[in-house]
Structure 1
Amino acid sequence: MTVLLSTRGLSKHFSGLHAVENVDFDLPAGQIRALIGPNGAGKTTFVGMLCGRITPSAGAVIFDGQDISHLPAHRRIRLGMAYTFQITSVFPGLSVAENVALAARPHLRGEAEVAAAVQDALDRVGLGGRTGQVAGDLSYGHQRLLEIAMGIAQAPRLLILDEPTQGLSDGEIAAFKALIRDLSATTTILLIEHNMSVVMETADMVTVMNFGAILAEGRPEEIRADPAVQAAYLGTDADAGT
């Protein structure tokens, strides 16, 4: 199996705090990988280093065999990485369609291709009927879905989603699970998520972080049964899907 994304010895220190420490990680192409762990485990810092928003203190990030550790975020996007943030980053003054078009244009030729990609991405996340609505007027949950559409429109090789179901209704979460399974046919997915039903029903493999390091990796059923994971994370608020 081809590894699309990996890290070796990846570390980040903030004023003596070891937020991420010596992480070796491998994500095969075509896999849905969930990244879970308690608050403060280092997940967001780790993903920030993958995306190029945070500079590592040590170690390497490798994408499709290329060391991208020192590439800025926009260069990583050009290589085929797309990501959504834990806090929405849509352009609130633009329409829903214009937000997605901005994400799609660097990857497509001609406005006809862009328009088709925009409509397809919005249809897939359930916002196809809101193309002309101002993004800032959307609910928080729908802004999350708009961000996912912006990622999809880039046709990425790797899609990184940070807390994508936060603010979604139960029905929207069910639709999100189906969307992830559909996307996995063409896209490798890294999912940072607290909702355990989403993790257990969509992920092929799960990586658990705690105190800036990898605590465990395995199939969802193995992770649920792992005593160390139960002690560190499961059996607390994660069981409630928060």
Structure 2
Amino acid sequence: MTLLSTRGLSKRFAGLHAVENVDFDLPQGQVRALIGPNGAGKTTFVSLLCGRIAPTQGTVIFDGRDISRLPAHKRINLGMAYTFQITSVFANLTVTENVALAARRRLRGMAMVQATEQALAQVGLEGRLDQNAGDLSYGHQRLLEIAMGLVQHPRLLILDEPTQGLADSEIEGFMALIRSLAGHTTILLVEHNMSVVMQAADQITVLNFGQILAQGSPDEIRADRAVQAAYLGTG
């Protein structure tokens, strides 16, 4: 079953085609990586999916429903959660309070407390519950954002550069987390770390100049001459 799809999705900024005529299908339960050179349109594409910006033309379909004009908060209510390249935690609240705020969309009382603790344990922050989020390292703020997404039990989790700022050991923990979620949470992973991409993704979509250059398995993408020339630097 396809959970998320786009048809003819385009976004132009004063004549610049940031995303152009993209047809995209993401099956339920899949881990899909979205890669491409800087300026390829990845962040714009994800912003269109999340509702942060409106398309110039084309449609976004989530679980069979056209959500192209739906605002971001209503997409969250449908089961989409996302983190972005720039962290958006509440610096003056504790780690626990940040996740509890996200959990309040669907839970109250002890259920909220338990879900908050579970999400923080999943990302390895169970030892930092009472620390102010603003005092965390950048990498730990990234993990906190992921916990804020996980606690919502999303049907689709969109992660934009989640391993940026993480130490090697933390990246290993992130990989274990993705493996534990695979199959029952659909994940769209925007990531520059090609080792993470090749290990984590079931399928990879490559964007270049706002258009899909290639799609396929990690092995297929690694061997694709157009991808090598445009992005992987081996062509």
TM-score interval for Structure 1 and Structure 2 normalised by the shorter chain: over 0.9
Q: Is 1:139 paired with 2:137?
A: yes
**What residue number does 1:17 align with?**
16
2:163 maps to a residue whose letter is: T
AA at the equivalent of 1:118 = T
> 3-state DSSP class of the match of 2:37?
coil
Q: Distance in 2 between matches of 1:146 and 1:228?
A: 36
- Aligned residue identity for 2:148: M
What number of residue pairs does the alignment pair up? 234
1:167 aligns to what? 165
- What's 2:197 paired with? 199
Q: Deviations over 1:117-161 (max 9, x none)?
A: 000000000000111000000000000000000000000000000
Aligned position for 1:68: 67
One-letter amino acid of the counterpart of residue 30, structure 1: G
Q: Tell me, in whole angstroms, the C-alpha distance in 1 between the residues paired with 2:33 and 2:57.
A: 24
- Structure 2: runs of 5+ lacking an equivalent: none
Match of 1:89 in 2: 88
Query: Helix, strand or coil: the match of 1:107?
Result: coil
Alpha-carbon displacement from aligned partner over 1:141-184 (angstroms, at most 9, x marks no partner): 00000000000000000000000000000000011011001011
Q: CA deviation at 1:185?
A: 3.3
SS at match of 2:104: helix
Q: Paired residue for 2:182?
A: 184
Amino acid in structure 1 at the alignment position of 2:187: I
User: 3-state DSSP class of the match of 2:26?
Assistant: strand
Matched, 1:56 2:55: yes
TM-score (norm 2): 0.99
Which amino acid is the alignment partner of residue 232 of structure 1? A
Question: Is the 2:201–2:218 contact (alpha carbons within 8 Å) kept by the matching residues of 1?
Answer: yes
Q: How far apart in 2 are the matches of 1:114 and 1:185?
A: 24
Deviation of 1:106 (Å): 1.0
CA contact under 8 A between 2:30 and 2:183: conserved in structure 1? no
Alignment partner of 1:149 is 2:159? no
Q: How large is the RMSD of aligned CA atoms in angstroms?
A: 0.7
Partner of 1:239: none
Partner amino acid, structure 2, of 1:52: G
Residue aligned with 1:115, SS: helix
State the distance in 2 between where 1:232 and 1:163 align: 20
Identity of aligned residues (%): 74
Equivalent position SS for 1:8: strand
Give how far 1:111 is off.
Answer: 1.5
Per the alignment, in what secondary structure is the counterpart of residue 159 of structure 1? strand
Would you say 1:129 and 2:106 are equivalent positions? no
Q: Could you tell me which residue of structure 1 aligns to residue 211 of structure 2?
A: 213
Write the letter of the residue equivalent to 1:21.
E
Question: Which residue identity is paired with 2:96?
Answer: A
2:228 maps to a residue whose letter is Q
Letter in 2 for 1:179: L
Unpaired stretches in structure 1, ≥5 consecutive residues: 237-242
Partner Cα separation in structure 2 for residue 219 and residue 116 of structure 1: 37
SS at match of 1:151: helix
Alignment partner of 2:164: what SS? coil
SS for the counterpart of 1:39 is: coil
Contact 2:206 2:214 in 1 (8 A): yes
